[in-house]
């Protein structure tokens, strides 16, 4: 592969390679039985978007209730069910599959020069499992909802809650199998399907990030699965595992739950880091700074991320020595994260920066991730955590990581690869506008929550003292802005599908392998098997 | 390597790549499977540190003889499985087929013996829940909960293994290049050995640990 190929040549190659994957078949059946990773990615995209807006509706109702200090819109009970629905849907049905299953599915084979993932049928099966799990969760919500919070803490979830806990657990369990199969597929694909010349240190950082994420998916999800089974057993057969009244230990549940759920945070944010690492070099026209360290940092985050779960239990009565070790390890995981932030920033240095819509999202990601990460250090400090535990400070912190980080990066990735995926250009002006609206709306929603938490507002309450109202109203106003920001792309991206200008093979002059084939790519990705002769970020400033 | 043994799926560029992906995928799958047992083993660790005495008492209620017999049954089945994989790789399909049937039969024998044990434990009111014996020391019920969960999860894996063996034995009646290939039998073998290996760890944890010493 040479860097001097023109779009025209590539276009010709694409045509010679056969029809585009979108033209492979137009029937519903051709989509539902497809084994093409690109089509499965689109199936995921449609389904997670549905769940994103469902979870968003729950969030909107929460913010509406909190606009006044009294609990006047919904009852306390309904409020509990709303934040549980919001959490369960957003974590398991949107964030965890978002970047890996949509962008990862579409791009991993293209980026390493493969024809497909190693196990295409397994890939389709994992989408069906995702749908089945999602349907079960929906069933639980429609049947009356769940009020435990997304964390399913015992003994409330096993002994006291009168809601559809077991049904919701089953849904999450099934979605978990879908995650495991996707992770397995990615790991095997990266190990065995790389094109000739594509050594490990020529992999784009997006591939590294999804590889590390897959390791977590494969190794942590089974622990969650069995933990949820134990919760169901205790709930159904009244035997003591986690309930102290029956001789169990609630802390045991928290250890097992967070052994999965803390690494799950990295499942959500590592792929986002991968997306930022593709967009920033391209829009700064600079090779990514410290490529190898970026790759090592990704792996370090994945590994250390397995060892910090205890920082969720500082005030639960676990041993103070355990608390100190977990605190130290939590500070350590910040080191590779900081390396990444420094390197993204250093990549910009002396670059020729242009502020296309994907770049705005990526820069938004870096800023918001930094704020979320730094406030994470507040919470990793033992003494401070006593004050901040279970307050809105925690809520703000993890929303900065998951919404400010992951959702921003997901949207950035959607814009960046939209021309490749659909073969159409979206409206740049609208794209930039939406990015700015989302950034502003996000900060307005969640920054006041840091202040609320610091002032002592606990999470998960539907009414509150009047002195908190100003900050809550600001936050709710931000949520409205954010909602507008999220609806905008739905409009202009859909518009582009029909009226958008046809996209060239490489509209951003990017250097990744995925841009060396037609837009949209042919069924088997490349006209002829690519041979790789250079690293992934061969940008040069003139 | 046995040429012409298998078709190459369209996503692969060579037979070697396909075989590597299959084997590697199986190992990743096994790593993931292992972690399914992790929460239960962590619970066991918790039990042993918090209720050592109850653990020793409870362990004495398990059936040492049947447990040991089952270990022998499972180890023998793994030996036959290794032979079956070898035979399939050498394209001796009928030999591989009968070996797989024998492996499945030993698997069923294991489940039957386990069932006899379970039955006796039900009779002795050792099954956790409302019917659990009333004078048991605290921690004993948790031991039996973990015992049933661990051995039950293991039995579930074994059942899947038995079904895979039988399906492959049925497939081996047909000549090549019909499914299963030598590679496929090898993958089933990896899985079977994994299930066997889990038992190798469960056996001392459940049956032996509490018996030694006072």
pLDDT of residue A172 exceeding 70, the answer is yes
Contact A188 B42 (CB under 8 A): no
B208 DSSP 8-state letter: I
B123 touches chain A (CB under 8 A): no
Res A411 pLDDT > 60:
yes
Q: How far is CA A358 from the centre of its chain?
A: 16
- Is B11 in contact with A117 (Cβ distance < 8 A)? yes
A50: CB partners within 8 A, 6+ apart: none
Tokens 């032979």 — which residue?
A: B83
Q: How confident is the model at residue A1 (pLDDT cuts 50, 70, 90)?
A: very low
pTM of the model: 0.94
Degrees to nearest 5, angle at CA B30 with A269 and A193: 65
Inter-chain residue contact B36 with A226, CB threshold 8 Å: yes
- A-chain residues within 8 Å CB-CB of B42? 252, 255-256
**Per-residue pLDDT at B129:** 82
Residue-wise pLDDT tens digits, A204-252: 999 999 999 999 999 999 999 999 999 999 999 888 899 988 888 999 9
| pLDDT at residue B3, as a whole number | 45
Question: A16 vs A84, which has greater pLDDT?
Answer: A84
Smallest CA–CA distance, residue B73 to chain A, in Å, is 27
Average pLDDT for A440-449 = 98
For residue A6, pLDDT over 80 is answered with no
Q: Are A230 and B39 in contact (CB under 8 A)?
A: yes
A187 with B28: Cβ contact below 8 A: yes
Q: What is the average per-residue pLDDT within A402-423?
A: 97
> Could you tell me the CATH superfamily of domain B20-208?
Cytochrome c oxidase, subunit III, four-helix bundle (1.20.120.80)
Whole-angstrom distance, CA of residue A501 vs CA of residue A172: 41
| Best B14, B35, B134 residue to mutate vs chain A (most A CBs within 10 Å) | B35
Sign (positive or negative) of CA dihedral A117, A120, A126, A127: positive
Helix extents (H) in A242-356: 250-284, 291-304, 320-348
Closest in A115, A247, A256 to B42, CB measured: A256
The answer to whether B14 faces chain A, any CB pair under 8 Å, is: no
Name the nearest CA neighbour of B136 among B65, B51, B66: B51
Q: What is the pLDDT of residues A120-159, one digit of tens each?
A: 999 999 999 999 999 999 999 999 999 999 999 999 999 9
Chain A positions contacting chain B at CB under 8 Å are: 114-120, 180, 183-184, 187-189, 191-193, 218-223, 225-227, 229-230, 233, 237-241, 247-249, 252, 255-256, 524, 529
Domains and CATH numbers, chain A: 7-516 (1.20.210.10)
Look at residue B157 in the predicted model and tell me its pLDDT.
97
Interface test with B, best of A247, A322, A525, A529 (most B CBs within 10 A): A247
| Whether pLDDT at B70 is above 50 | yes
Answer yes or no: do A223 and B130 touch at CB < 8 A: no
Contact B11 A118 (CB under 8 A): yes
Average pLDDT over residues A167-188: 97
pLDDT at A422 over 50: yes
- What pLDDT is stored for residue A449 in this prediction? 98
Is B39 close to A218, i.e. CB distance below 8 A? Answer: no
Interface test with B, best of A222, A248, A254 (most B CBs within 10 A): A222
B83 CA: distance to closest CA in chain A (Å)? 27
C-alpha to C-alpha distances, A446 to A70, A400, A402, A481, nearest whole angstrom: 21, 7, 12, 12
The string of pLDDT tens digits covering residues A105-123 is 999 999 999 999 999 999 9
Residue of A115, A184, A239 with shortest CB distance to B145: A239
Q: Report the interhelical angle of B93-123 vs B182-203 (nearest 10°).
A: 30
Distance separating alpha carbons of residues A379 and A371, to the nearest angstrom: 13
Task: Answer whether residue A15 shows pLDDT above 80.
Answer: no
- Quickly state the pLDDT bin for A17 (edges 50, 70, 90): low
Reported as a single tens digit per residue, the pLDDT across A324-347 is 999 999 999 999 999 999 999 999
* ipTM value: 0.92
Please spell the DSSP secondary structure of A74-139, one letter per residue.
Answer: S-HHHHHHHHHHHHHIIIIIIIHHIIIIIIIHHHHHHHHT-SS-S-HHHHHHHHHHHHHHHHHHHH
Give yes or no for a contact between A10 and A505, defined as CB atoms under 8 angstroms apart. Answer: yes
Query: What's the count of helices (H) and strands (E) in chain A, helices before strands?
Result: 18, 0
User: Mind telling me how many Å the CA of A66 is from chain B's nearest CA?
Assistant: 38
Instruction: Give residue A529's pLDDT.
Output: 86
B179 contact A CB<8A: no
Residues within 8 A of A (CB atoms), B 127-146 only? 128-130, 132, 138-139, 141-142, 145
In Å, how far is A152's CA from the nearest CA of chain B? 16
Instruction: Decide if A278 contacts A204 (C-beta within 8 A).
Output: yes
**H-state helical runs in A143-240:** 165-192, 205-237
Q: Do B43 and A241 touch (CB under 8 A)?
A: yes
Q: What is the pLDDT of residues A487-502, one digit of tens each?
A: 999 999 999 999 999 9
Nearest to A510 by CA among A499, A519, A522, A500: A519
């Amino acid at each position: 592969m040479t860097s001097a190929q023109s779009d025209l040549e590539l276009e010709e190659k694409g045509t010679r390679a056969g029809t585009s994957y979108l033209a492979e078949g137009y029937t519903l059946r051709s989509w539902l039985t497809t084994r093409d990773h690109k089509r499965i990615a689109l199936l995921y995209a449609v389904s997670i978007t549905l769940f994103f807006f469902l979870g968003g509706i729950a969030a909107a109702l929460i913010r509406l209730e909190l606009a006044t200090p009294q609990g006047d819109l919904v009852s306390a009970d309904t409020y509990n069910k709303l934040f549980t629905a919001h959490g369960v849907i957003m974590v398991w049905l949107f964030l965890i599959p978002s970047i890996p299953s949509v962008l990862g599915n579409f791009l991993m084979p293209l980026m390493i020069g493969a024809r497909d993932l190693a196990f295409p049928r397994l890939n389709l099966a994992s989408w069906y499992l995702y749908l089945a799990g999602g349907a079960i969760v929906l069933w639980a919500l429609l049947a009356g909802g769940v009020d435990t919070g997304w964390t399913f803490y015992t003994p409330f979830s096993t002994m006291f809650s009168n809601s559809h806990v077991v049904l919701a657990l089953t849904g999450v369990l099934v979605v978990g199998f879908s995650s495991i199969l996707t992770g397995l597929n990615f790991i095997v694909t990266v190990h065995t399907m790389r094109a000739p010349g594509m050594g490990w240190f020529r992999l784009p950082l997006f591939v590294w990030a999804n590889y590390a994420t897959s390791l977590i998916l494969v190794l942590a999800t089974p622990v969650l699965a069995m933990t949820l089974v134990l919760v169901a057993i205790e709930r159904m057969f009244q035997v003591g595992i986690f309930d102290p009244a029956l001789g169990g230990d609630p802390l045991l549940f928290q250890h097992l739950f967070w052994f999965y759920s803390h690494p799950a945070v990295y499942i959500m944010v590592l792929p986002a880091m991968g997306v930022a690492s593709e967009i920033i070099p391209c829009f700064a026209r600079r090779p990514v700074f410290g490529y190898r360290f970026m790759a090592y940092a990704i792996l370090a985050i994945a590994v250390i991320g397995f060892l910090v779960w205890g920082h969720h239990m500082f005030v639960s009565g676990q041993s103070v020595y355990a608390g100190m070790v977990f605190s130290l390890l939590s500070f350590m995981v910040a080191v590779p994260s900081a390396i990444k932030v420094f390197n993204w920033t250093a990549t910009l240095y002396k670059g020729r920066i242009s502020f296309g819509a994907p770049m705005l999202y990526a820069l938004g990601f870096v800023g918001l991730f930094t704020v979320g990460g730094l406030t994470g250090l507040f919470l990793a400090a033992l003494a401070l955590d006593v004050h901040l535990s279970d307050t809105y400070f925690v809520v703000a912190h993890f929303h900065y990581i998951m919404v400010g980080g992951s959702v921003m990066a997901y949207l950035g990735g959607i814009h960046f690869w939209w021309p490749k995926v659909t073969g159409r250009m979206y409206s740049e002006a609208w794209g930039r506008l939406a990015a700015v609206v989302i950034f502003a709306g996000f900060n307005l929603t969640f920054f006041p929550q840091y202040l609320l938490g610091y002032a002592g507002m606990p999470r998960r309450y539907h009414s509150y003292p009047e002195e908190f109202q100003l900050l809550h109203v600001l936050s709710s106003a931000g949520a409205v802005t954010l909602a507008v920001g999220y609806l905008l792309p739905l409009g202009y991206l859909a518009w582009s599908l029909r009226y958008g200008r046809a996209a060239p093979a490489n509209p951003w002059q990017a250097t990744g392998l995925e841009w060396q084939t037609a837009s949209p790519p042919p069924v088997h990705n490349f006209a002829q098997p690519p041979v790789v002769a250079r690293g992934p970020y061969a940008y040069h400033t003139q | 390597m046995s040429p012409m043994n298998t078709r190459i799926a369209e996503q692969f560029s060579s037979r070697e790549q396909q075989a590597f992906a299959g084997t590697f995928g199986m190992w990743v799958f096994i790593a993931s499977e292992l972690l399914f047992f992790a929460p239960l083993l962590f619970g066991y660790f918790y039990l042993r540190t918090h209720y050592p005495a109850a653990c020793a008492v409870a362990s004495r209620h398990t059936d040492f003889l049947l447990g040991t017999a089952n270990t022998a049954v499972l180890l023998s089945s793994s030996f036959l499985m290794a032979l079956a994989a070898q035979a399939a790789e050498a394209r001796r399909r009928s030999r591989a087929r009968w070996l797989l049937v024998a492996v499945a039969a030993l698997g069923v024998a294991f489940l039957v013996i386990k069932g006899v044990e379970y039955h006796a434990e039900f009779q002795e009111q050792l099954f956790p829940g409302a019917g659990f014996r009333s004078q048991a020391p605290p921690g004993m019920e948790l031991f039996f909960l973990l015992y049933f969960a661990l051995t039950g999860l293991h039995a579930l894996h074994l059942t899947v293994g038995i079904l895979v063996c039988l399906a492959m034995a049925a497939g081996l009646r047909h000549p090549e290049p019909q499914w299963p290939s030598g590679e496929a039998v090898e993958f089933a073998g990896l899985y079977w050995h994994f299930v066997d290996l889990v038992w190798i760890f469960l056996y001392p944890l459940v049956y032996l640990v509490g018996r030694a010493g006072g």
